Amino acid sequence: MKQILVVNLFLGPKRKLSFNKLVTRVKTLGVEVSISDHARLPDLDPSQLTSYDGIILSGTEALFTRTADRKEFENLFAFLPKIETPTLGICGGHQALAIAYGGEVAKSGHHVDGFRTVELEDKDHLLAGLPAKIRVMQSHYEVVKRLPPGFVRIARSKDTKNEAMKHEQKPLYGVQFHPERWNEENLAGKRILENFIEKIATKL
């Protein structure tokens, strides 16, 4: 059974249900899940993470354009580039990954919320088996304005230019939307998590 580490980027207990939803959904895909959080993760030696097949960075209510919030994650930003384990960032985790590798996050101008249409530009492993347009759950106030060096865009939408990204050489992916919040009418998110687990998350 594959081992997935899910990292909690939420700052307060009010969002515990959101994080638990992610953990529960990942568990339903037939993997063993361990949990850490953004404050504890940088205390580890990066080599310790090679025991996991993959890492998933959760969303967060933090706003990285807000100085106080950004400071909370300084250690995580410095630590993420040291990780060699395949990693998927979701929403705030996607933004954190972008910042850690030298990208830029900005306010979206409005709250992007609900199931929205996303256009796929590159059906690499993460988006394999999906149609050209998918419906996925959105909930964010900030976006990745500029991709970090070494990353390319693999999806976009009317609301968000950089909906998904991948590193050109490393097994690193980020999605602005919430794939864990799928429903029976909109199953693309489930397929994306399955793709990460089955095609990308592999011990190095």
Domains of the chain and any CATH numbers = 3-200 (3.40.50.880)
Per-residue pLDDT of the chain (204 residues; tens, 9 = 90+): 999 999 999 998 777 888 999 999 999 999 999 999 999 999 999 999 999 999 999 999 999 999 999 999 999 999 999 999 999 999 999 999 999 999 999 998 788 889 999 999 988 899 999 999 999 999 999 999 999 999 999 999 998 999 999 999 999 999 999 999 999 999 999 999 999 999 999 976
The DSSP secondary-structure symbol of 12 reads: S
Q: Assess whether 184 carries a catalytic annotation.
A: no
Residue 132, judged by CB atoms within 10 A of its CB (0-12, 13-18, 19+), counts as exposed
Q: Assess whether 180 carries a catalytic annotation.
A: yes
Helix (H) or strand (E) run with residue 156 in it: strand 151-156
Rg (CA), the chain: 15
State the helix-helix crossing angle for 16-27 and 188-195, rounded to 10 degrees: 70
Tokens of 146: 């500029």
Q: Assess whether 140 carries a catalytic annotation.
A: no
Model pLDDT, residue 203? 78
The CA distance from 122 to 182, in Å, is 21
Model pLDDT, residue 112? 86
Q: Which of the residues 72, 84, 91, 140 is marked catalytic?
A: 91
